[in-house]
Amino acid sequence: MSTRAHGFALAAGSGVLLALSFPKFGYPPLAWIALAPLLVALTQNVSLPRAFALGLTTGAIYFGGTLYWMSMVMARYGELSLALAVAINVVFVAYLALFPALFAVLTRRLSMVLGVAALPAAPFVWAATELGRTYLFSGFPWVLLGYSQTTVLPIAQAASIVGVFGVSAIVVSVNVAFAGIVAGRALRPAALVVVGVLLVAVWGSARVRDGALTRQGEPLRVGLVQGNALEEERDARGGGAEILKRHLEMTREAIAGGAALVILPESALSPYAFEEYPVVAASLREAARQAGVPILLGSDQYEWRGTGRTREVHKSFNAAFMLRADGTTGAVYRKMHLVPWGEYVPLKNWLTFIGPLVKAIGRGFDAGDEATLLPVASHQVSTAICYEIIYPDLVRRFVREGSELLTTITNDSWFGRTSAPYQHFEQASMRAIEEGRYLVRAANTGVSGIVDPYGRVLERTAIYQPAIVVGDVRLLTSATLYSRAGDVFAYASAVATLALVILSVRRRVQ
């Protein structure tokens, strides 16, 4: 095999291992070696353009293997042909692959000056590129490397200090150790990395075992309703009435099971909008009032302008309504971070070839602008709607405002029986560890569940099955280091990366 082919084989191997680290495949140990082949390839005598191509190869397979389901979603619900949906997804995956490509270029640039000694900088470079992926062009922080370790609780506890980006860096450091052994027989640095990771694991195990947060705060029994309403059912004649009836029956069942707060998923009442159908609203308000139990539900909300025949929708929001125990509306949270291609179409006036998708989405949603907390008696809780939960700083903002319980409501029926519902649930679980809060998740078709502040899954449903989950959580007020400091590690990594690149350029010039 030629040197060129060997390098691309290593890069492709990294992409495959990265993809296999996440659900459905979900083999977290693979993440600890996944980047090593790419790093070895980068220590060889390759040019910067070749490094870019190697990183792009890794990224294309990485994201192609974890985001394949997007083609199906656009074809099935966006009224696009399968070929066009696949083409759009290929472009999106290629964009995301630019971040591993940037990682490869920066790592190679440093190695041109420092040789194998540049490898220790790789964890910080990777964290910096993940930070960029989280925010650039509204961001898409799906399958960050740290999420591969959500179920590896001793390691995942590091998120309570350095967030998911820090967990990513820990994983990359082990990859660096393996690559250093292969490329430069760097046994002593590798041993130091292994000792460091073992210390993190020992501390994390002790933190989970102690479980102090599970003995703090006021207990609350929550009920999660998974109505399993398919999109086809919503569109069918009479489907809305049947869905409403089902959710009401399941809500009463959850209350009968002792729930002191009932949570219904995103789009729980679709095709109805809660405030626009008085009969629908009255039925849920009455359910809350009769039982004396607050109900959180997801539904569309509209702002109108004009009157009579000139009345039209001015703004529409994907919203969460908190009904108090007396049936009145306690607060409404409007989703702040919308899903591109699902809730709005970026550059829709320019991308004329996706006309069917634009038509299917319609005017789309408007973004909310306030991190509204939701009252439960004398306490405050928060909710993240759908994929908002994968944005660490957004959830941290709720906690800084005073949220004592994290909730998230979602409608994952769009994803089908793909990897997406499982990826989504594990990414949501990482927020519980970061913030030191219980997290409860009501998903229309699953996965619904309850996660404790250490990432332990207390309850979890299967997908595409009606389900009611009733379980105990605690309303907490203490703060983790991460909830106080935020993504300091990630931003410091970005600054360090920039400084190292500038230094490498200056040395090269001299």
Residues 400-446: tens digit of each pLDDT: 999 999 999 999 998 999 999 999 999 999 999 999 999 999 999 99
Q: What is the pLDDT of residue 354?
A: 52
**Shared-domain flag, residues 125 and 260:** no
Q: What is the pLDDT of residue 308?
A: 78
CB contact set of 17 (below 8 Å; sequence gap of 6+):
30, 31, 33, 34, 37
Q: What is the pLDDT of residue 309?
A: 78
**Shared-domain flag, residues 75 and 191:** yes
Answer yes or no: 266 catalytic: yes
Residue 207 has pLDDT above 90, yes or no: yes
Q: Give residue 163's Cα distance to chain centre.
A: 13
- Total domains present in the chain: 2
Integer angstrom CA distances of residue 48 from 74, 127, 259, 386, 494: 35, 20, 59, 39, 20
Q: What is the pLDDT of residue 341?
A: 65
d(CA 405, CA 377): 13
Q: What is the pLDDT of residues 250-293, one digit of tens each?
A: 999 999 999 999 999 999 998 899 999 999 999 999 999 999 99
**Shared-domain flag, residues 135 and 278:** no
Sign of CA dihedral 184, 189, 193, 198: positive
Q: What is the pLDDT of residue 351?
A: 56
Token couple for 180:
């250093």
Q: Tell whether 504 is covered by a domain.
A: yes
Question: One of 130, 335, 343, 404 is an active-site residue; which one?
Answer: 335
Per-residue b/e over 140-155, b at no fewer than 16 CB within 10 Å?
bbbbbbbbbbbbbbbb
Nearest by Cα to 96 from 30, 54, 141, 53:
141
The burial of 174, by beta-carbon neighbours within 10 Å (0-12 exposed, 13-18 middle, 19 or more buried), is given as buried
Q: Tell whether 237 is covered by a domain.
A: yes
Whole domain around residue 234: which residue ranges? 217-299+318-332+373-477
Answer yes or no: 348 catalytic: no
**Shared-domain flag, residues 221 and 141:** no
For the entire predicted model, the pTM comes to 0.95
**Shared-domain flag, residues 122 and 11:** yes
Question: One of 242, 245, 249, 266 is an active-site residue; which one?
Answer: 266
Q: Give residue 99's Cα distance to chain centre.
A: 18
Q: Which residue has the higher pLDDT, 479 or 77?
A: 479
**Shared-domain flag, residues 240 and 188:** no
Residue with tokens 């192609």: 64
Answer yes or no: 232 catalytic: no
Q: Tell whether 142 is covered by a domain.
A: yes
**Shared-domain flag, residues 131 and 14:** yes
Question: One of 231, 249, 315, 386 is an active-site residue; which one?
Answer: 386
Residue 357 has pLDDT above 70, yes or no: no
